Structure 1
Amino acid sequence: MKKRNVKSIQGRQLVPNLIGPECIRVTKVYDWVVLTNRDKNKVQIPEECFAAIEDARHDGNTVTATCSEVVGTRSCDFIGATPANIIPSVPGAQIVSLAFHVHIRVQFFCNGEPLPGCNFVVPVSFMDEVILCFPEGTEINCDIFDVQCTVVLNQMLGDMVVLDVTMCKDVQVEAKVKLEVEAKFCGPRRIIPIPEDGFECPIPPFPQQCPTFFPTTNCLCQGSADFGGEATIIVTEGTSTPPPLGGTTTGRLDLTALVCDRCTLSGSRIQVTYIDTLGPTPIGTPDADIDQSFTFTANDFEQPDCAAGTLTVRGTGVITPAGGIPENADFTLTLVDNDTSPVLERATLVIDGATIDVIIDLNALTNPALEVEVEECEQFPV
């Protein structure tokens, strides 16, 4: 691309721009306070609404109420001012009287449903007296910046209800004045030049599909296992030789396994919680005080291998020994479902961790609470 011969343009003021006194017209703040009012206001309940409340309570229903500010109804009025005799004396100090107003919407409910005729608006006002520096020629600028309201139902007085209202207000004494300040006129900054090197935008490529994991491949079979109760399992801890600590142990086992739910691999989960029953030394365990409790959660599954009534799935998860830290582990789960002889149903889970290995082998004969199901998945026709 041919570079154009463009001369830079520099702005130049025709008159000198030196720092000097300038006169500006601004709003000067002479005094500024923030006021907070909280008061309980008794307001009249409309006749129709009061009758509906009485009927609801007579029938044993629950009556509740809410109140909130009506947007756009805030206002403030200056009432008057009198000289303030304060020590030390402040010239221009005045006791200023102000009135603040807001409208509050009140609504009653019966068992959470609005009561008919019980949505009404009432005015709420606060009067304030505050000492301000309020010299002649200034004016009051007041504003309500927050309103909070609560209905005090336990203080209903006949057909009157009590509203607990909090109002936050900002009051300023102001005047338009002309001030002399040291300043100078400001001008625009220089333009930042844009580089003229040529650049061609490439054609955006189409995104590539992820065939290795999406779209997902349907499972050939699906299975589940559920057990909760006392069980004997094998837990070995450590990797040292002679044989590591642990062995056969009995305790409370809760196992839930769901593989390829609705024939989708992502609908799989395995959760195991084992609470060791401490007591006599289990067979093969040299130390009776070892707590062999643990939890295991599977987080990644391979496609299962399927045979007649049998499902085997492998994957990885996290095992957490009692008093230890979570560690990654491999697992293999085998489910056997026998419709002709349910006592032959079996669930075997082998977990291989870094410092702990577990073998859980359950069968319906010795573990009658075990439930196992395996079934084939329907496939699309070829």
Structure 2
Amino acid sequence: MPKLLREQYVRLPKVYDWVLVTSYSRLRLPVPEPFRPSLHAALRNGQPLSVQCLPPDHPCSCQPVSCRLLPQLRQATYLADSQPMPLSIARFVIEATLSVLFFATGDLLFELPVPLALDEHVALSLPPPLDHTNITYRIAAAECRPNPALLPHTGAVELDVFACLEILVEAPVVLEVMGRMCTPRPDSIPVPARKLPLDCSPFRLPPHCRRLH
């Protein structure tokens, strides 16, 4: 008897919004007083200076990084095709510590930890009764670009910091679909023959173990 299609109900997570946000900040990092003598000595000796900045997700960086969603959501309205659409404004705070390394002629002079805080407001589709507990997020990527052009003149380096934040709004829903109940398939796929090992010679006893007849 054929299995007829009928209404079925499935429960699965529904995605209401999915956003990638790029957060950016430019910092000016003055070299602290204890490290200035070695920096000035390298400049007097004509050594080429270079700066490297390790973002928080770099495998060589052991500095902590965190991303927090503040639970207070602000409600707003956005016009889409002349139709008002409710939105929720969520505030995310990214806190990290960057590792900035200073080199002279390829040799490490010193390393500075730099605290960083990025504040980002994001508009999300969050229809009632959803709230901040339906929002998941993660830092998808991070990048830190140092600019040492000002270092010989001001003793400071500029840092351009980027962070990519992935945000997902989801909640479980029950959907009605047309389907039919199914059963497991029969075991009809043949199993390939097992390959024998390369050394298939018969077992032989060592000479001193052979029996004398």
TM-score (norm 1): 0.42
Q: Which amino acid aligns with 2:190?
A: P
Contact 1:66 1:108 in 2 (8 A): yes
1:31 aligns with 2:17: yes
Report the equivalent of 1:345. none
Q: 2-side partners of 1:130 and 1:66: how far apart?
A: 31
SS of the residue 1:51 aligns to: helix
Q: Which amino acid aligns with 1:129?
A: H
1:43 aligns with 2:29: yes
Q: Which amino acid aligns with 2:138?
A: D
Q: Which amino acid aligns with 1:75?
A: S
Contact 1:75 1:143 in 2 (8 A): no
Q: Which amino acid aligns with 1:108?
A: F
Report the equivalent of 1:179. 175
Q: 2-side partners of 1:70 and 1:194: how far apart?
A: 49
Q: 2-side partners of 1:104 and 1:39: how far apart?
A: 13
Q: Percent same amino acid among aligned pairs? A: 28
After superposition, the Cα gap between the structure-2 partners of 1:182 and 1:74, relative to the gap in structure 1 and judged at 3 Å, is farther
How much does 1:195 deviate?
7.9
Q: Within 5 A, what are the aligned runs for 1:1-382?
A: 19-71=5-57, 73-79=64-70, 80-87=72-79, 88-91=83-86, 93-115=87-109, 118-135=110-127, 136-138=129-131, 139-156=134-151, 158=154, 160-191=156-187, 192-194=189-191
More helix by share: 2
Contact 1:104 1:122 in 2 (8 A): yes
How much does 1:111 deviate?
0.4
Name the structure, 1 or 2, with higher relative contact order (CA <8 Å, separation 6+): 2
Q: 1-side partners of 2:170 and 2:196: how far apart?
A: 60
Count of aligned pairs? 184
Q: 2-side partners of 1:58 and 1:146: how far apart?
A: 38
Unaligned runs of 5+ residues in structure 1 are 1-15, 205-382
- Between structure 1 and structure 2, the one with the greater Rg is 1
**Cα root mean square deviation, aligned:** 3.2
SS of the residue 1:85 aligns to: strand
SS of the residue 2:85 aligns to: coil
Q: 2-side partners of 1:200 and 1:164: how far apart?
A: 61
Q: 2-side partners of 1:32 and 1:70: how far apart?
A: 24
SS of the residue 2:50 aligns to: strand
How much does 1:151 deviate?
0.9
TM-score (norm 2): 0.70
